């Protein structure tokens, strides 16, 4: 894949370019409005939605507070069921584990279920470097892979592409990866889906290794759960001889009863369906049914650090429904690529800086990629207060003194000193009033000038208020 999130520009610069792309904005506007309108109808059908939302929040919070206990319980259950558990502290370790497991089978290709975790760690690129081809089987992920593109949405990774663009990608690229697109392919959704089905079928039937993530892991039984709409996941999870699942440690829930809540809220919040067409569950291995070998790679990659933040840890409740993206005015105009991460939109703006830190320019800019309108919190099925975390992270970025904030901190420090010395403040006010004719209408510097592009700086009065008060009103209150 030619595109990469490494080294991308900070959000303001990336968004500035994205909003000029009229076709991108039209694609995003149509898709996000369609999805969110359908979601609203599906959610309104449940009279107890508020209670389910609160239950989801409670389950996630209680699990996170005892995460060490549930992860050990999960490991014991998976092992007892015939699986093998691996622990990966970061992306490099997870990629090494998966690559070694694939090479141990002697295979040089794998089929993949859509997985945010594997995108997060750059698994496809890591496998390619080891001579292993990874084939995405989700329709949208296939479009992204064939187009040498990057995902731009959690639920619909190719949301930035329209049907004509997809037809062109299939026609020109499918033959390089396997079965060619049919002659005379049009942009009809049915024809595009059939072309993908034929292209992928040979890979499903040939592949000996499957790679997945998981939407949930049940600690009490060691069961993993994948929900999807196309059936490609079911094929990847059942046909290969070896299955490797890479899952973030926050995806664990204690019991099957807890899963009941999320199987109601996730489909309605994501695809606006009452239930997912395919809900696949598996527990270890079973003779004569599914893969002979199962490996679970539990991924940290910044999650433990996020858990340590009492405000920021609520981002780990996320069940990847993408509802927050579909109502966000910033995402709708800038698109997912501007966020420089596989996690775009409001949830990406709070999750990515915690997983990766805020030392890079792009990560430090993400907490500011929001209008703080609160629409994301209103639709979140696990009640993540994204605006609260955004403000919290902005404070952290400012305290760390990142680019632009060193000057801000110095300015605030200087202003504090001046305000604590009334004589100095009064002298400064008099000087400012006497030199007001020389003051610029716009502030210097790129950041400040953007603010004053559409705003005039307020004019200073002819004399400071305290001087006017002494001359005109002071005697009335003596």
Total number of residues shown for the chain: 478
pLDDT < 70 stretches in the chain: 1-8, 402-408, 444-454, 474-478
* Summary count for the chain: helices (H), strands (E): 23, 10
Would you state the pLDDT for residue 469?
84
Would you state the pLDDT for residue 451?
65
Q: Please check whether residue 347 is in contact with residue 393, taking contact to mean a CB–CB distance below 8 angstroms.
A: no
Report residue 217: phi and psi, to 5°.
-130, 130
d(CA 31, CA 28): 5
Would you state the pLDDT for residue 293?
98
Would you state the pLDDT for residue 6?
46
What does the pLDDT look like over 340-364, one tens digit per residue?
999 999 999 999 999 999 988 899 9
154 Cβ contact list (under 8 Å, min separation 6)? 116, 320, 321, 322, 325, 343, 344, 345, 347
Q: Please check whether residue 182 is in contact with residue 198, taking contact to mean a CB–CB distance below 8 angstroms.
A: yes
| pTM, 2 dp | 0.86
Report residue 280: phi and psi, to 5°.
-100, 130
For residue 293, list its beta bridge partners.
242
3-state helix, strand, coil in the chain (%, to 5): 55, 10, 35
Would you state the pLDDT for residue 8?
61
Q: Please check whether residue 211 is in contact with residue 98, taking contact to mean a CB–CB distance below 8 angstroms.
A: yes
- Which sign, positive or negative, has the C-alpha torsion 297, 301, 305, 307? negative
d(CA 436, CA 297): 65
Q: Please check whether residue 417 is in contact with residue 425, taking contact to mean a CB–CB distance below 8 angstroms.
A: no
């Amino acid at each position: 894949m030619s595109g990469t999130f490494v080294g991308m520009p900070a959000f303001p610069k990336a968004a500035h370019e994205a909003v000029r792309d009229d076709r991108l904005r039209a694609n995003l506007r149509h898709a996000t409005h369609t999805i969110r309108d359908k979601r609203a109808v599906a959610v309104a059908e449940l009279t107890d939605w508020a209670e389910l939302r609160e239950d989801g929040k409670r389950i996630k919070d209680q699990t996170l507070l005892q995460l060490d206990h549930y992860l050990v319980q999960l490991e014991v259950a998976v092992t007892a069921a015939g699986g093998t558990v691996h622990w990966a502290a970061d992306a490099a370790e997870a990629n090494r584990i998966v690559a070694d497991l694939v090479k141990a089978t002697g295979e040089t290709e794998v089929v993949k279920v859509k997985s945010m975790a594997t995108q997060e760690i750059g698994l496809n690129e890591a496998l390619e470097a080891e001579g292993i081809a990874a084939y995405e089987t989700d329709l949208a992920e296939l479009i992204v892979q064939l187009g040498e593109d990057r995902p731009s949405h959690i639920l619909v990774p190719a949301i930035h592409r329209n049907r004509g663009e997809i037809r062109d990608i299939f026609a020109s690229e499918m033959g390089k990866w396997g079965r060619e697109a049919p002659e005379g392919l049009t942009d009809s959704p049915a024809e595009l889906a059939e072309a993908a089905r034929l292209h992928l079928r040979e890979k499903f039937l040939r592949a000996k290794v499957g790679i997945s993530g998981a939407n949930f892991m049940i600690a009490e039984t060691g069961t993993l759960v994948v929900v999807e709409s196309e059936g490609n996941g079911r094929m990847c999870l059942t046909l290969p001889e070896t299955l490797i699942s890479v899952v973030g440690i926050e995806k664990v829930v204690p019991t099957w009863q807890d899963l009941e809540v999320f199987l109601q809220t996730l489909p309605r919040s994501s695809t606006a369906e009452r239930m997912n067409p395919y809900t696949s569950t598996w527990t270890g291995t079973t003779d004569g049914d599914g893969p002979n070998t199962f490996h679970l790679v539990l991924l940290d990659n910044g999650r433990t650090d996020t858990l340590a933040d009492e405000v920021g840890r609520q981002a780990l409740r996320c069940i990847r429904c993408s509802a927050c993206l579909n109502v966000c005015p910033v995402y709708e105009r800038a698109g997912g690529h501007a966020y420089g991460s596989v996690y775009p939109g409001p949830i990406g703006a709070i999750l990515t800086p915690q997983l990766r830190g805020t030392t890079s320019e792009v990560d430090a800019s993400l907490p500011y990629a929001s209008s703080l309108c609160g629409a994301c919190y209103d639709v979140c099925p696990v009640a993540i207060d994204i605006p609260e975390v955004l403000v919290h992270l902005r404070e952290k970025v400012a305290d760390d003194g990142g680019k632009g904030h060193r000057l801000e901190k110095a300015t605030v420090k200087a202003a504090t000193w001046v305000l604590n010395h009334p004589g100095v403040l009064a002298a400064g006010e008099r000087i400012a009033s006497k030199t007001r004719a020389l003051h610029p209408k716009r502030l210097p510097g790129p950041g400040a000038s953007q603010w004053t592009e559409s705003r005039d700086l307020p004019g200073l009065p002819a004399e400071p208020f305290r001087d006017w008060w002494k001359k005109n009103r002071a005697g009335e209150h003596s």
